[in-house]
Chains A and B, each alone.
Chain A
Amino acid sequence: AQDKGGGNDDKGFTAGLVTDTGGLNDESFNQTAWAGMKKAEKDLDVGIKALESKRDSEFVPNLTKFARENRDLIWGVGFKFEKAIPDVADQFKNNHFGIVDSNLGGKIPDNVVAVTFKEEEGSFLMGVIAGSMTKTNKVGFIGGVTSPLIKKFESGFTAGVRAANPKAEVKRVYAESFTDGAKGRSLASNLYNDGTDIIYHAAGGVGKGLFDEVKTRKKGKYWAIGVDMDQSRLAPDHTLSSMVKRVDVAVYDIMKEHKEGKFPGGKEVKLGLEDNGVTYADTTKKHVPEKVLKKVDEYRQQIIDGKIKVPATEAELKKFKP
């Protein structure tokens, strides 16, 4: 039933993917990364394999396993790998590694590439949608565990709302968990009861609670916005949009470059709106009116053109003037 061990190892070029504790089918970045790997297997004839980590302490042995198999490119998906990747990369200087969602604090070894996304930019667009469409002038944000990564989503989103609708208020709450769906649901319910009509989340499994809640509410009045993948199928009639992170594209592209001998070692590959690394889901047009979509695209262009610098931290948000 498992396809993760099924990769073909006889290929000339091989790659490995180590997941964090979310596992391969986390409906989030692990899963999208694996999708990119599978595309590479098909299109680029890459031998692929994946290892799921049960605990944080397994990152290192799992990466090491691949390194000892001499795989050409070894991926660690998630910012949690930011200590493990440099460690193992240092030991296996002849192998190449990739990390997603962290720039390793700027100290990137030569045999490592760091892929990061400008989540704030994508989230900004979600903010524009929410700000434009709120009827109550109250929108909500549910975060997972308070951390700089999630703060990027929060800051970008808030800035987007403010840009589109200065009168709107953004209620921001955290579940302090990435798994507690019930808590996500309660937070969502509380926010909606409080007058919020659109909620964006960056909270992994907690976000499922948001969709569970919004589904039970009046269509056309209450909305949710998804994250990482197109989440509209979780509540098709209530999902305005999703902020999509193209981890698959990034993983695929870098594998391709590496195969062609152009490994961007020691570099941070930062993907934003410009590179289509972050974007809004295709299903957005289903519920978002043309007019708003146009506005979104305008903002998108301004960000790409550098006319708007989207805040990625609380401090930058404070200084942000729409």
Chain B
Amino acid sequence: MIETLTNILQTTVLYATPLILTAMGGLFSERSGVVNIGLEGLMTIGAFTAAVTTLITHNPWIGLMAAMVAGILFAVPHAVASITFKADQVVSGVAINFLALGISVYLVKHLYEGAGQTPLIKDALHRLPIPGLDQIPVIGPAFFNAYPTTYLAILIVFVSYLVLYRTPFGMRLRAVGEHPRAAETTGVNVFRMRYAAVLISGALAGIGGAGLSIAIGSEFNQSTVAGQGFIALAALIFGKWHPFGALGASTFFGFAVALALTGQIFGLTAYVPSEVLSMLPYILTILALAGFVGRAEAPASIGKPYETGGR
């Protein structure tokens, strides 16, 4: 029983971590009024960069930093297209997804003699037990013997909350997402805020992706990310564009996955096809949304390019 609970919690945390990080990224962008369908691509580029950098430097922390920088760099085209050129934000986000997957797989093939994946990363991030705490039964192994990215994710949730809801920067950022003109009349530079927000989303999604290739996994290939950026987006909406909401939604999703996996260990597949167990997380999410969560209030100006009055 204890083992099972430990299992469920550990898997929950494992699955939720990249979602949390990426959803926080999406949070910044979308709170500032810029839709970010490109999270998937930003994760991909983060996962790729982290893998390659770690392979070269043998230091996963440098890999993590590089993933963040790459995430920022790849958020630039999205920012330029959707903020400066006032392109449709969904379009530009979709283009980012194509671009990131295309470039990263192209480079992998180019760098590693046509291989579809990077070589094995020997210096990946390891679990980091917090002495003492990790001995607590059930929650210890899950929460206090986790990957550094997990601790980082939790930290970032709190920091995001502080930044968005307690600092002038965050207040302005949210104001820009709700009513950019109002923000502008108080002297806030709408473009600068939105740029900052989109670049932050690149940084966080980049770290989220890095976790997939150098913490949970130890290589990069074209299915390393496989839709998790979209799930992070869903978690962001599910969590009503709030840091703790998104944290909860990501955790909920991880928990649903954990339940399905544990079901297999218990031999449930003797009674239901294992495909049905695999569907479970997705169905549970839909049920949760339909049953309890309902309507979510998006930032009022989300998706609308801003046209300043002046030049």
Contacts and interface: CB of A to CB of B under 8 A. Distances in A.
8 contacts: A24-B114, A171-B267, A174-B269, A186-B15, A187-B265, A205-B223, A208-B219, A212-B218
Nearest to B12: A186
Given A25-B113, A175-B278, A190-B265, 5 more contacts: A183-B261, A187-B265, A194-B3, A194-B7, A211-B218
Contacts of B275: 146, 176
B117 interface: yes
A47 interface: no
Given A4-B114, A25-B114, A174 B219 contact: no
Nearest to B113: A1
B116 A190 contact: no
B216 A187 contact: no
A182 B3 contact: no
Contact of B6 (A186, A193, A208): A193
A14 B226 CA distance: 37
A8 interface: no
A61 interface: no
Given A174-B274, A216-B127, A234-B120, A208 B218 contact: yes
Interface of B: 3-4, 6-7, 10-11, 14-15, 109-110, 112-117, 120, 124, 126-127, 212, 216-219, 221, 223-224, 226, 257-258, 261-262, 264-265, 267, 269, 273-275, 278
A180 interface: yes
Q: Most A CB atoms within 10 A — which of B120, B126, B257?
A: B120
CB-based closest 3 A-B pairs: A25-B115, A179-B223, A173-B264
B178 to A, nearest CB: 36
Contacts of A182: 14-15, 212, 216-217
Contacts of B274: 146, 173-174, 176
Interface in A16-33: 22-27
Interface string A196-220: 0000000001001101100010000
B24 to A, nearest CB: 19
A2 interface: yes
Contact of A173 (B4, B226, B265): B265
Nearest to A26: B116
Nearest to B10: A189
Interface in A21-54: 22-27
Contacts of B127: 216
A319 interface: no
Contacts of B262: 190
Nearest to B270: A172
A171 B224 CA distance: 26
B11 A174 contact: no
A10 interface: no
A291 interface: no
A143 to B, nearest CB: 8
Contact of B116 (A2, A22, A173): A22
A246 interface: no
A217 to B, nearest CB: 10
A185 B14 contact: yes
Contact of A193 (B10, B226, B264): B10
A281 to B, nearest CB: 17
Nearest to B227: A180
A195 interface: yes
Given A174-B264, A174-B274, A186-B261, A208 B7 contact: no
